[in-house]
């Protein structure tokens, strides 16, 4: 699959998030709505 191939080719990278942070993927309109709700509940 794609990820093992990219790993063998050393073409993958990662990024450490600061403490207390998290990654939220937004792939659909529903994801965007949920993320907006989450941000709103945190006063952002």
The larger pLDDT score, comparing residue 18 to residue 43, is at 18
The range of the structural domain enclosing residue 31 comes to 18-44
Q: Is residue 32 part of a domain?
A: yes
First to last CA, the chain: 38
CA distances from 27 to 3, 22, 30, 35 (A): 19, 16, 8, 11
Quick: pLDDT tens for 4-36.
999 999 999 999 999 989 899 999 999 999 999
With respect to residue 5, please indicate whether it lies within any of the assigned structural domains. no
The pLDDT value given to residue 30: 98
Look at residue 6 and tell me if it is in a domain: no
Task: Output the pLDDT for position 38.
Answer: 92
* Residue 43 belongs to a domain: yes
Residues 31, 37: Cα–Cα separation, whole Å? 10
Asked if residues 38 and 24 have their Cβ atoms less than 8 Å apart, the reply is: yes
Residue 33 counted as domain residue: yes
3 belongs to a structural domain = no
Distance separating alpha carbons of residues 1 and 36, to the nearest angstrom:
33
């Amino acid at each position: 699959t794609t990820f093992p191939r990219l790993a063998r080719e050393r073409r993958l990278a990662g990024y450490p998030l600061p403490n207390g942070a998290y990654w939220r993927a937004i792939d659909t309109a529903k994801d965007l709505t949920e993320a907006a709700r989450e941000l709103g509940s945190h006063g952002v």
